[in-house]
Structure 1
Amino acid sequence: MTSQEGPFARRLRILLAEDEALIGLAAEAELTEHGHEVVLVGDGAAALEAEAAHGPFDLLVTDMQMPRLRGDALARRLRLARPDLPLVVMSANHVPETVAGLRALGGPIAILTKPVPFGDLSAAVARLAQGG
């Protein structure tokens, strides 16, 4: 399937923040295989720097537990400027209060539990890209 078929009707610019290198590289490969442009960074602070230097991005994929700036704090900061920015949040440990806080931000969001099958990541990105 190319990026012009199926659920990916357009190429997205995706900011991917993941501190576990192998997970980040695998997620990047999955998303670029679907025709998206992906900027991979190792933590939330680096994601803010990438947004300032290379943004705006169409979608944020972030881990929750990262050094320097957690994924939920990153999401809040980016949503201040762009309340409609689609978010995919991945975490092995979902704290109900944190999940509720993310959902309270409004806007499109998908919350995935690690380990995330990459088909599930692609499906979440496709759904959010279509406004779901």
Structure 2
Amino acid sequence: MGPTMPNATVLLVEDELFISMLTQDVLESAGLTVIVAYDGLEALELLRAHPEIDLLFTDVNLPSLDGRVLAQRAMVERPELQLILTSGRHRLSAEEIPDDGKFLPKPYSPRELMDLVQSELDQRPA
């Protein structure tokens, strides 16, 4: 058993309901607080309303605002955020992701998701 998950809040942005529910379940099972958005504009509003959000986990293909644009805007407003982007259609290089964000290709396993989330949360400034 690895180290326990830090107490943290994740903003999950995923427009496919089934994937969103599965991912939320995995994150919450690990003891994380999850706030869910289904498009980029909603996600930006939630980021502004919830200063406790530690990590933005967003799909790239979203209605209303592309996940990369969402990530760029989010990092301007909240540079301390940890960032993970995901997509089944695109493969993003490190240069395409703002700041030191990470990319997780779909489909991902619960283990891959949690390993990456844990490593990102462990890098939060103290």
TM over 0.5: yes
Query: In the alignment, which of 91, 95, 98 is matched to residue 100 of structure 1?
Result: 95
| Structure 1 runs not aligned, ≥5 long | none
Amino acid at match of 1:14: V
Match of residue 110 from structure 2? 118
1:89–1:111 contact (8 Å) kept in structure 2: yes
Equivalent residue, structure 1, for 2:82: 86
**Cα separation, 1, equivalents of 2:4 and 2:120:** 10
Q: 2:10 aligns with which of 11, 14, 28?
A: 14
Match of 1:26 in 2: 22
- Identity between Structure 1 and Structure 2 (%): 31
TM-score normalised to structure 1 length: 0.85
Count of paired positions: 124
Shift in alpha-carbon separation, 1:54–1:82, aligned structure 2, 3 A = closer
Normalising by structure 2, we get a TM-score of 0.89
1:93 CA displacement: 2.0
Contact map agreement 2:12 2:36 (CA 8 A) in 1:
yes
What root-mean-square deviation, in Å, do the aligned CA atoms of Structure 1 and Structure 2 show? 1.9
8 Å contact kept, 2:75–2:81: yes
- Runs ≥4 in structure 1, deviation > 6 angstroms? none
